[in-house]
Structure 1
């Protein structure tokens, strides 16, 4: 009986799964066109899965081993089951191979079941709670059904009753696993995830690469949408990426806005996009809702606006404006989904089409247009902080080894101390540098994160035109946001440069022996990793190397490096100012105080402003440049640098 039932069940399930795959692919293709390497992506997919994806999964050793056993066992078992039971190739070798595969899968499924006994709050429940049972049923039923093929049990053992039970088990298993991959359910992530890796919108991320710059809008194409209004405005492979979500909640666990009680949960946002693609409401979402937003009140469809300014839609606008664009969600996602891209795409529509940037957003964007800086300060005051420093200007020198990009911290009295400290370092190292002075404009970072692509591109093109007049080897900036946008986002507009963060440049100067440094008197120091330096650009070591060079041993926070908690200052978050139950910088200060450090070393003016905004008592905040400038050995060497004539003259005076 089994020899008759199993092929019918298997091929019926496969046929329905293929039909579902066609239907699902048609859903994704409702999105806008996107160029992909169709064949190359498919050929690269196994490596991307086994290497790049598992590089992220491996951070959780328990789930890594569980996933290898369960997924690996399932793939082998499914293929062998089709060969052995579908096509009837009853070889003892194949039988034992199928037994081994199902045993491996069963072992992995046991660990999945254990994980689900008391799941952490970040994991979605609902249909996901039945998945371990389905995995166990699939592996157990095929294991027993294969025992006769391996010669361990006689053919037809147990009679009709056992055959019927096994057929029920197989039907249960293949329904959940085969049909679920393409028709919907927990296993949907397996099918969508594989193709997402093949046709990822940021293929540069694979093979150890990094891709964090936002994609530019083509503002010259009158038919192209300005941002994303409805689900079908996303590119088709973005929609595919949303469908790949495994609902593990790792993005939720690291999101600073969610932790602060702001109305954002990156996991639910991705699931809302899936709901919008298929049509429906969020009543059946089985995970954590947006803080303060009950389930069941939001709905949408593929051709309906995602955000409505008049009433309820799929997502509320304040959910999008809560994001700090810190990329913690993207860094943690085992399916390599691009949450930040989606959020900024939707912000672009609200800003460019609706003019609906909240709180001080509109004022800041108007300031950028009128004065080339977000604070609305008179552009002529950009170099007031350096009136006594006699800074070399590019307009006079025409060329220099280093172009020092000052940034809009030039208008902030606190950040001016950092800028002056860095100038002191440059001069101490005899670096050939110059600044643009009044020719420098805002880099456009804030405009772009707030969704104003038009203002960003205007600022960027003006800066690129200015930079084209001069010759320099590299640009150095104390601001990770300017550093990132110059390095990673100007290229699409014609401006490709070698750009360094000041901590990286100082590290190079130290290693080259260009700086004479003493030892810092700071006893207890921790270092806060800026998101736009760390997660966006992978620079974690240079700041620590510099601190070590001046005798500082960093007391690391629990959340440091690629898991550093955001200060709350990125993505225009201080401008849109969406309220929550607590402030993100206050949470970061709790992390800092847990180390017992008396001083926090930073490398970003936004981080400095946010952390210094925390109510005292709190540790002192200092930029790395300030700490280095404090220990420069220059005054002690000054007499030795005088010429003999000058020393004789000085002796006569005294």
Structure 2
């Protein structure tokens, strides 16, 4: 009966040495992992617990099913490496259980047909792993001319190839020496035996087998021991990052507690990095998916998201007193638009925009360091309530001939229309506000605007100026609470995100709806009647970052356009 002989031809003293080496390798691995978690624990505690069902679901989808990795064609190679190494690990674990636990009890797990199936599965996994690692080497160090070619990763991948190939050579030696009936189930080993080992004596095969077994086994144990200290660290750091990610709304930024009494703001030293931030930064693999999608970098800005995170990772490894500015360029920080493309692309779910804002908070609140344009906009907004520096009395000039109602205390409105600075004061964008009023009237909606409306200061907050944002938020929330309304309607994605996701933390918990969702609802309910016979032709859709990426809202605008006869929509690629 076919059966797996784990230590065939291996002297007893070598077996004992291998077990001892296995214990040492495992202890080194455990020590390295402990060092990682000790580093996480040194930071201020911000890790959020709870929602474990959601966390485990995402872990299953992102890690075990490789969902985010497979969003790009190149992810197929990574997924192939992942799944094949999982199978090879399971195969090794089964062999250990079979030999060390089942066999002493008079049982065999890997015998008969079970063993033959085991052989076939591992044969396929091994061949696939060699192909995937080999192609990854060619892609990463041959075809990708713009990507950093790190020698350490190259050596590590070659080392993995060596372990895989030596495993097949080891199998070939067993096949050549024993000539088992099931040899046809291991075609790679059989091919090597017939072509390279044919003619060798049994003594020569046995000696070569012992040395190959030693080299293969030691190489495998070295690989295990090196995991926490090399690029392979991502096999446990990425799952930890995915599991402990923030589960708050993606567009949410935490309020600085006791801001008026705080002595330091944001991030300037490693010691200020929270446990969650350390977990995220440590999980970076340098895959550069964030870099590939960054619009700022594509436009020639000095920002490279991968280099930013790698800089923070290097700073984290340099000690608690390390100044982050030595590793992160402030000019790069200033050019980030916080569009969220990097976060959406990152397999480790590293929230780069939030890290950028925390770094900016230090520059803004401790050093007053802004670009000239941002400084001018903040000064104007704090002075006259809008970043354009226009007189507050002109805010509703767009509505002079529309007889737009202003909210009155005590009255109830279905919709309170938050117009926003852009639609109120930009001459090109005013048509948006005017069109929205016409739609509200066409749908027979009881609505009003708020005379006290002023800038939400979202742009200032993203630039790091938290104090200006909180001051404006407290004023806006107090004014909004004076009126009774069912929904707060916005046309600006940034206003929508701020009112929906950030104001609740300051006591402004309102029902906020974006105009695309509202219009789709009005069409569905029949309250908004569309004209027929007036086709709009082809309309290209560019999803706003703070609507699509931060709030996962992409369907309403498409649904509304599809309801218009003779209208075709075109999706904008690379957006």
TM range (shorter): 0.7 to 0.9
Match of 1:391 among 404, 409, 413: 404
Q: Structure 1: how far apart are the matches of 2:46 and 2:419? A: 37
Are residue 186 (structure 1) and residue 225 (structure 2) matched?
A: no
Distance 1:133 1:87 in 2: 34
TM-score, length-normalised on structure 1?
Answer: 0.74
Matched, 1:534 2:573: no
Higher helix share: 2
TM-score, normalised relative to structure 2 = 0.83
Shift of 1:369: 1.9
> Contact 1:394–1:470 at 8 Å: present in 2 too?
yes
- Written as runs of structure 1 = structure 2, the 5 A alignment for 1:236-635 is 236-279=275-318, 301-307=319-325, 313-395=326-408, 398-409=411-422, 410-437=424-451, 439-518=452-531, 519-550=533-564, 551-559=566-574, 564=575
Encode CA deviations 1:414-459: one digit per residue, 9 max, x unaligned. 111111111111111111111112x112112111111111111111
Distance 1:333 1:459 in 2: 33
Instruction: Tell me what 1:9 maps to.
Output: 21
Identify which of 77, 98, 104 aligns with 2:125: 104
Partner of 2:213: 166
Structure 1 residues 463 and 6: alpha-carbon distance in aligned structure 2, compared to 1, 3 A threshold: same
CA distance in 2, matches of 1:346, 1:85: 54
Tell me whether 368-377 or 343-352 shows the greater mean CA deviation: 368-377
Contact 2:69 2:79 (C-alpha < 8 Å) held by counterparts: no
Deviations 1:551-592 (A, max 9, x none): 320122223xxxx2xxxxxxxxxxxxxxxxxxxxxxxxxxxx
Q: Structure 1 CA distance, aligned partners of 2:178 and 2:251?
A: 55
Q: Which protein is bigger by CA-based radius of gyration?
A: 2
**Secondary structure of 1:227 counterpart:** coil
The structure-2 alpha-carbon separation of the partners of 1:198 and 1:521, relative to structure 1 and needing over 3 Å to count, comes to closer
In the alignment, which residue of structure 2 is the partner of 1:289?
none
Q: Relative to 1, partners in 2 of residues 1:447 and 1:318: Cα closer, same or farther, differing over 3 Å?
A: same
Contact preservation (8 Å) 1:393, 1:434: yes
1:221 Cα deviation from its structure 2 partner: 7.6
Query: Is it true that 1:93 corresponds to 2:122 in the alignment?
Result: no
* Matched residue, 1:582: none
- The separation in 1 between residues aligned to 2:306 and 2:390, in whole angstroms, is 39
Q: CA deviation at 1:140?
A: 4.7
Higher deviation after alignment, 335-344 or 123-132:
123-132
Query: Which sections of structure 2, spanning at least 5 residues, go unmatched?
Result: 1-10, 181-201
Structure 1 alignment gaps of length 5 or more = 205-209, 280-300, 308-312, 565-654
**Aligned with 2:428: secondary structure?**
helix
CA distance in 1, matches of 2:329, 2:457: 26
Runs of 4+ in 1 over 6 A off after TM superposition: 85-88, 143-157
Instruction: Kindly tell me the number of residue pairs found equivalent between the two proteins.
Output: 523
Change (3 A) 1:458 1:105: farther
**Inter-partner Cα distance in structure 2 for 1:477 and 1:548:** 22
CA contact (8 A) 1:57 1:63 kept: no
- Match in the other structure for 2:155: 130
What residue is the counterpart of 1:605 in the other structure?
none
Q: How many Å separate the matches in 2 of 1:411 and 1:554?
A: 29
User: Hey, what's the Cα distance between the residues in 2 that align with 1:221 and 1:75?
Assistant: 54
RMSD over equivalenced CA pairs, Å: 3.0
1:115 to 132, 136, 149: 136
> Structure 1, residues 610-638: CA drift from partner, whole Å, max 9, x if none?
xxxxxxxxxxxxxxxxxxxxxxxxxxxxx
The partner residue of 1:175 within 208, 222, 238 is 222
Cα distance in 2 for residues equivalent to 1:320 and 1:248: 20
